[in-house]
Amino acid sequence: MYTHNDLDGIGCGIVAKLAFADKVEVRYNSVMGLDHQIERLFEHEKKLEEFHLFITDLSINEENTKRVEQLHKRGGKVNFIDHHKTALHFNEYSWGTVQVEYEDGRLTSATSLLYEHLLENEWIHKTKALDEFVELVRQYDTWEWDQNDNIKAKHLNDLFFMFSLDEFEEKMIERLTSQQDSFNFDDFEQKLLSMEEDKIERYVRRKKRETYQTFINELCAGIVHAESYHSELGNELGKEYPHLDYIAILNVGGKKISFRTIHDDVDVSAVAGQFGGGGHAKASGCSMGKDAFDLYVQEVYPLDPIRQDAFRNRYNLKESPKGTLYDSRQGDKFFVAPMEDGKWSIEVKNGILEESFSQFQEAENHIKRNFGASLSRDDVYVKYLVDFYLKEKK
């Protein structure tokens, strides 16, 4: 079995080992590494027809697709199981099973698809603990845990990062073999998880102050440099800065970019696709070539980070019927106030902007995206109102 080296990929390995024990050999691969490994397999392993080849949670290139198709035609057993939209074309082959969502709308994961495949063939023994484990992996991989507030799914992924791949795999197989009624963390793991949570919180708080914004190919990108905690950052920065279309997390040393979005109308697999990468609508990635480096690193370097909103205000509050004030580094002021028709207008130095907004958030997005302004402190707000009323009197 060849599978991905993330939680969903390891989930496949764990489920396969529970089914086939020492009869299965599992190789974990990065997105970039898989094709080379498959190529080597076909070079060195002459009796592939005698094996059953599984490829899960990752895609293979055209040449490897041809190799696999020929193996299948020679009578070899092959299963390609994936849930990425970008892999749907593998359904053209009888050995390809790519399903992005279930009939009820829930998203699939490679682990859940493989588990169901193994159950159908009666190759694996169903237990409550295993059902729960597979579901945690699925919720983590599809980000459904966040909507469902299923912190256990996130904790499973945290643990995966705290242990080595082999240790994690061994621990999980041992647990799922010995405890079949429910899947739980032990006391030591619980302690580790709470320490990890505090650490992530501090890290994310710091990164919020190191986020930059710019327009790239018409979309407003939030840009941050970070080597770890990509999912947490993507999510937290996305919520902190909802005016951004997506968050690009850069790892210059590893020459990689991860893209995350919290918005349903933004597809970051398309953003990654522009630079030769891919993934899901809400989470994707690409390697950082020269083009991407120029756009996301070089051009952004001279900018200042996004200004955070004033956070101890008592008067200058968002959606206030009296109006809400924003100001930019250059000292420009933007006053958002409700109009008689229920829409929101933006007042600037030389009058009112022509455009009005049906939601307050849209008005704020407009100001933040185009002028980089942030919520003013109370003292600036009070002074603005005083000047405004004095002007009215004259």
Kindly tell me which of 211 and 284 has the beta carbon lying closer to Mn ion. Answer: 284
Kindly tell me which of 142 and 324 has the beta carbon lying closer to Mn ion. Answer: 142
Q: Does 309 bind Mn ion (CB under 5 A)?
A: no
Q: Cβ 128 to Mn ion, closest distance in Å?
A: 23
Kindly tell me which of 112 and 345 has the beta carbon lying closer to Mn ion. Answer: 112
Contact segment (CB under 5 A) with Mn ion among 31-39, 53-61, 71-79, 291-299 equals 53-61
Q: State how beta strands 278-279 and 219-225 pair.
A: unpaired
Tell me the C-alpha distance between 16 and 124, whole Å. Answer: 8
Kindly tell me which of 113 and 226 has the beta carbon lying closer to Mn ion. Answer: 113
Size of the site for Mn ion (CB under 5 A): 4
Q: Does 57 bind Mn ion (CB under 5 A)?
A: yes
From 168, 52, 224, 218, select the one nearest 121 (Cα to Cα). 52
Q: Cβ 110 to Mn ion, closest distance in Å?
A: 5
Site for Mn ion in 121-160 (CB under 5 A): 141
Site for Mn ion in 8-47 (CB under 5 A): 8
Contact segment (CB under 5 A) with Mn ion among 5-13, 45-53, 124-132, 367-375 equals 5-13
Q: Cβ 61 to Mn ion, closest distance in Å?
A: 18
Q: Cβ 118 to Mn ion, closest distance in Å?
A: 17
> Which residue is nearest to Mn ion, using beta carbons?
8
Helix, strand or coil for residue 347?
A: strand
Kindly tell me which of 57 and 327 has the beta carbon lying closer to Mn ion. Answer: 57
Region for residue 81 given its phi and psi (left: phi exceeds 0; alpha: psi -120 to 50; beta: otherwise):
beta
| Per-position b or e across 194-225, b if 16+ CB within 10 A of its CB | eebeeebeebbeebbeebbbbebeebbbbbbb
The residue behind tokens 């956070």 is 311
User: Could you give phi then psi for residue 17, rounded to 5 degrees?
Assistant: -70, -30
Contact yes or no for 213/265 (Cβ under 8 A): no
Site for Mn ion in 98-127 (CB under 5 A): 110
Q: Cβ 83 to Mn ion, closest distance in Å?
A: 6
Q: Cβ 13 to Mn ion, closest distance in Å?
A: 12
Helix, strand or coil for residue 157?
A: helix
Tell me the C-alpha distance between 349 and 342, whole Å. Answer: 23
Tell me the C-alpha distance between 59 and 3, whole Å. Answer: 9
Binding stretches for Mn ion (CB under 5 A) = 8, 57, 110, 141
